[in-house]
Every structure is written in structure tokens, then in C-alpha cells.
Amino acid sequence: HFGVLELLRTLHAYAPPPRDQKAEKKGEPITVHASDKPVSGFVFKIQANMDPNHRDRVAFLRLCSGEFKRGMRLKTTAGKQLNIHNPMMFLAQDREIAETAYAGDVIGVPNHGQLRVGDSLSENGDIQFGGIPNFAPELLRRARVKDPMKAKHLRKALESLAEEGVTQLFKPAIGSDMIVGAVGQLQFEVMTERVAAEYNLEVVFEPAPYNVARWLSCDDDKVLEA
């Protein structure tokens, strides 16, 4: 083990500390420092089916401040309270229960759809971190399963993968088509393989009667609703 101690000392001396994060608290801009005592963080990734035998779903939470301890209760900005009993830390394929974690650490939070990418968590639920970019899709395809009896299973699979950010899923106001949006063709190929491997479904992506998907904004919400 020659050199291990020297390496650890060098990392301790030169590794950068967790950086400050811009956020909002009750509508006012603030800066969250790693040295702040209240625990806060944001979800930057969702991963489903990490263990195919259990259909698990893990939200990856980056801690921005405070000392997290197993069993803590954190709130989202929407007021939803989460009791985090089994936080995990990962090293390659290995995982272990995280008894404590600090600002800069990433912990995995098992959940069943309560958390999404971009959600902010804090002790009081009053901190909102800046959003994670969500790119507009350049390609739109209609998803169809070869076995019509498994259409509901396909919808569940597409919704689960869309929550991860693999692609985006759209539902037209009229009809029951499942429209999948992606930035490039490779995303469709990845989704085809994952749906087959994780859900045992053969999915086909066909040309959709749409070219683009864009956000609409207006000063008067009633105009949009009309």
C-alpha cells in the first residue's frame, strides 16, 4: 500500500471543495453554501431497473449543504415529505447503506415515482435550486408494440424511461398515440434495446404526424387555456 497515504494527503490539500449553488427561497434569490447547516440538495438523475429482479427505481440526490443522516425527513418544494430510511452510496456495481453523507456527496434514494429530475429537497421544503436543462426534441416518433395486448406495458415502460431523461414522452390531446421525442436517432436505438432487455417488449418506432414540440408562453394563462 505504498503511496496511499501520500495520495490521500494530496487530495485533501488540493481537491476543490463543494461549490456554492444558486437557489431561491420563498421567491428570493439566495446562495447555498456547503458549510450551511440545514441539509439541502437536488435530484439530477433517475435510474430505473438497476436491479432487474426487483424493478427498483433510484433517484440520485446531490447534497449541497449540511450533514445528512440516515432516517432524516426531507421535503420537496411542493410540500411532499420523504422519510429516507435506506439511502445508498455506489461504487461501480456495489452499493451500501449510507449512514451519513455531507455536502458534495451523492446518495441514492429508492422511491416509486415520488421524485423527478430537477426536484429540490431540504429540511423545510423552502429551497428551490436552479432547473436542469431540458432540451426540445428534434425527432418525434410514434411508439408501437408488436403485440397489441401489451400496449399498457409499453406505456409503463416508456413513462419509466422518460422519467430518467432517456427520451421525452408526449400524449396528443386527441387519440391514444404515444409520441416519443429525442434529440438524436441514437436515443431511439438505446430505448429499443432497454425496452427489450428490461421489459421484454418489442417496440417499433414509426414516423409521427408531428415535426416539432415547443413550449408556449403567454402573459395571460386564460388565452392559452382557450
Q: How many CB atoms lie within 10 A of CB 68?
A: 25
Are 125 and 21 in the same domain? Answer: yes
Is position 170 within any domain? yes
Percent of the chain's residues with pLDDT above 90: 57
The three grid cell numbers given for residue 193, joined into one nine-digit string: 434495446
Residue 85's Cβ-side half-sphere holds a number of Cα atoms within 13 Å equal to: 2
Q: pLDDT by residue (tens digit) across 125-183?
A: 999 998 777 778 889 999 999 898 999 999 989 988 888 877 899 988 888 889 999 98
Instruction: Note the pLDDT of residue 5.
Output: 92
Q: Are residues 168 and 120 in the same domain?
A: no
Task: Specify whether 123 is located in the same domain as 172.
Answer: no
Q: Residue written as cell 428551490?
A: 128
Q: Name the residue range of residue 30's domain.
A: 8-129
Give DSSP secondary structure letters for 186-214.
Answer: HHHHHHHHHHHHHH---EEEEE-S-S---
Do 62 and 91 lie in a common domain? Answer: yes
**Structural domain count of the chain:** 2
Are 107 and 186 members of one domain? no
Q: Quick one: CA torsion of 201, 206, 211, 213, rounded to 10 degrees?
A: -10
Three-class secondary structure assignment of 37-75 = CCCEEEEEEEEECCCCCCCCEEEEEEEEECEEECCCEEE
Taking only the tens place, the pLDDT of each residue in 14-72 is: 999 899 999 999 889 999 999 999 999 999 999 887 776 667 789 999 999 999 999 99
CA distance to 42, 105, 210, 225, per residue, from 120 (Å):
4, 15, 33, 28
The per-residue pLDDT of the chain, averaged, comes to 89
Is 118 in the same domain as 148?
no
Is 1 part of any domain? no
Q: Give the 3-state DSSP-derived string for 165-188, with helices as H, strands as E and coil as C.
A: CCCEEECCCCCCCEEEEECCHHHH
Q: What share of the chain is helix, strand, coil (3-state, %, to 5)?
A: 20, 35, 45
Query: Quick check: pTM over 0.85?
Result: no
